[in-house]
Chain A
């Protein structure tokens, strides 16, 4: 006998869909081929609702909700695309591009970058905001990997994968606000940190902030799909 499954029905962008009660709107939307942009979300990691790109409208609520943590409810009517949402998403991307020094043309992940691809998917052709051009460091002390703060968008995927999957919790965030920074250990150089050199953080990093030294040029695709697979294997164990 199969356990009773609590099924909810809801409407996303005018399409009737059904979902398990414990699912998020993002999961259900993707299952139904409805694209919602995300940057901090990664399948297999906990959700933090930080990038705000997946904000959606819910009928009868003036507030916007991040789809990655929004649990489905019976009868819910969700809109994932509107002029207002597009404007907000574009502005958030503009804020990210203007925040640090993202120079796609000379980046190791050019053409493999989620920030770059998301900007294109949201029709962003230029950034209205002035570039802040902060002076930031590059940590190449690890024998295999490099951390370039100029390209970091603070999605904290590295922090979460290191803590939740690798169990090492080498990465964390220091500082506040615009001065926030991902660091290894208590800001020891990466090469001298307690890093296990597993490389998970590099593969989940959506931009070229974390990259592999051994790859040259912009030939630097990332393979973040291992996370749900690892989770699945562990649960099945």
Chain B
């Protein structure tokens, strides 16, 4: 049997979804017999593969880098899952939207810094005016709300996906769950 190529992606989120994913604990071993983790912050592959079967995307789109990445991922993924509230709604990262990016940078790089306060202009990608959920940039095949979605939710959803079925997400999780 061909193993499913699974990727997990970490955009603007707290990695809590990944932690919850890991919270599947020993069940992860059971599932991993059916997939190869081909790209993830949890493993060491540097490049996104040519084609991925399922990608779990954590985090909102906050910067030009996020935007670039998600476009690339969409192109090279069959089934894209928005994983967790940040990817689905914008969630906590989007709380800056009423104020815009400048006050956030001020707060982080000036107000809270004692030595040489300066806003980084190189290496760090520029912030977008508004933080937006993944589906405002690319089409999303499955939404998995929750902050984070529970380990049980991950287990059911991934089991279903591996069996080639689309799970009824609303019965499992919700915004903020």
Binding site for B on A (CB under 8 A): 97, 101-107, 110-111, 113, 116-117, 119-120, 122-128, 130-131, 133-136
Contact = CB atoms under 8 A, between A and B. Distances in A.
A124 B143 CA distance: 10
A105 B147 CA distance: 6
6 contacts: A101-B95, A104-B175, A116-B175, A119-B175, A126-B143, A136-B98
Interface residues of B, number: 29
A86 to B, nearest CB: 11
Contacts of B162: none
Interface of B: 82, 85, 88-92, 94-95, 97-99, 130, 132-133, 135-136, 140, 143-145, 147, 168-170, 174-177
Contacts of A97: 89, 175
B135 A111 contact: no
A126 B82 contact: yes
Contacts of B98: 101, 133-136
B92 A103 contact: yes
Nearest to B89: A127
Given A116-B174, A120-B170, A125-B145, A106 B135 contact: no
Contacts of A102: 175
Given A120-B174, A126-B145, A106 B99 contact: no
B175 A130 contact: no
Nearest to A107: B176
Contacts of A133: 94, 97-98, 130
Nearest to B16: A105
Given A110-B176, A126-B89, A136-B98, 13 more contacts: A103-B92, A104-B177, A105-B176, A113-B176, A119-B174, A120-B170, A123-B168, A125-B143, A126-B82, A126-B133, A126-B143, A128-B135, A133-B97
Nearest to B85: A105
